[in-house]
Amino acid sequence: MLAAVLASLRPRQWVKNLFVFAGLIFSQKLFTPLAGVALATFAVFCALSGAVYLLNDVADRETDRFHPRKRERPIAAGRLPAMAVAAALVLVAAGLAASIAISPRLALVSLAYVTLMGAYSAWLKHLVIVDVIVVAAGFVLRAVAGALAIDVEISGWLLICTVLIALFFALGKRRHEVLTLAEGAARHRPILAEYSAGLLDQMIAVVTASTVTAYALYTMSPETVAKFDTHLLPATLPFVLYGIFRYLYLLYGCQMGGSPSELFLNDRPLLVDALLWMLSVVVILYGPRVG
C-alpha cells in the first residue's frame, strides 16, 4: 500500500518543482544560506503537488481507465483504497505548516496553489483554454513561491518566461493526448473534444515563438545587463533553442510528449541540454565579470 501511495505521488513529476529555484539562481543567492530555504520550499511543493496528484487521481479514476497508461495508476487500477484522500490531506496540512514556518508570504502562495489546483481538478480542467492556462499558472506560483521564500524581488521577465514555457509543455501534452487517444480522447478527458490537432499546432507555434522572443529580449535588455553586470547571457540562447526544437521533434516526429517531465528525464539529449543551460547560466551569473 505504501508503494502504491508513493507511485501515486508521482515523484518523477517533482522535477516541475525545480521552478522554485529560479528566484534563488537569478538573484545570485545560489551559494548562500538561502539555498537551504529554497530547498525547503522545494520540499513543500513536492508535498503539495503530490497531494494534488492524489486528489486528481481520485477524481479521475473512472475516466483514467480509458487511458492506455493512466489505467495502470494505483487508484485507477483499484490498488489504493480511500486512504488516498487521507494521505493527500495529511500532505497538504504538512506542506502548509512547513510553508508557514518558512515565511507567511510563502504560506499564502502555497495556499493559493492548493486552492487553484483543487479548483482545476474539480472544475477548471473542463473549460477549454482555461485548463492549460491554469496549469501554466501553477508553474508561475512555484516560481513566485521560491522568490518570496528567500525575500528577493520577483522579476517580470521570470514570470513571463515561466508562463510561456509552461504553456508550451501543457499544449504539447494536450496535442499528444488528442492524437494518441483519437476517438477515445473525449471519454478519457471530455475537454479534449474541444481541441483539434490543427488548433493546438497553431497555439504551440504562437507560444514557441513568444518563448524564444521573451527569453532573447530578457538576456539582452539593459535592465538585465545592469543587474548582472554582464553582456554574456545571450550566449545561453542556443541551449534554449535546441531544447525547444528537440521537444518539438519528439512531439511531432516521435509522437511523444504525454508527460513532459518524464520526457526530460528519459531523453538524454534533452536532459544534457537542460543541464548545459543551467551550467552556463550559473557560470555567467556567478563567474568573473568579463563582458
Question: What's the pLDDT tens digit per position in 244-266?
Answer: 999 999 999 888 766 788 888 88
Query: From residue 91, how far is each of 84, 97, 181 by CA, in Å?
Result: 11, 10, 32
Cell 505504501, located at residue: 2
Task: Specify which of 9-18, 81-90, 113-122 reaches the highest per-range mean pLDDT.
Answer: 113-122
Per the model's pLDDT, the better-predicted residue between 22 and 155 turns out to be 22
Residue 45's pLDDT is what?
95
218-246 average pLDDT score: 94
Torsion of CA 255, 261, 262, 268, to 10 degrees: 90
Phi/psi of residue 243, each to 5°?
-60, -45
Say which range, 144-153, 191-200, 206-215, has the weakest mean pLDDT. 191-200
Give the pLDDT confidence of 184-202 residue by residue, as tens digits.
Answer: 656 666 788 888 889 999 9
Torsion of CA 284, 272, 156, 44, to 10 degrees: -110
Give the pLDDT confidence of 161-185 residue by residue, as tens digits.
Answer: 999 999 999 999 888 888 877 666 5
Where does the pLDDT of residue 35 fall: very low under 50, low under 70, confident under 90, or very high at 90 and above?
very high
Where does the pLDDT of residue 65 fall: very low under 50, low under 70, confident under 90, or very high at 90 and above?
low
Task: Specify which of 57-61, 65-69, 262-266 reaches the highest per-range mean pLDDT.
Answer: 262-266
CA separation for the pair 254, 264 (Å, rounded): 14
Residue 183's pLDDT is what?
65
Give alpha helix (H) positions in the chain: 2-8, 22-26, 34-59, 83-102, 104-122, 130-149, 156-181, 185-188, 197-220, 222-228, 237-248, 260-266, 268-286
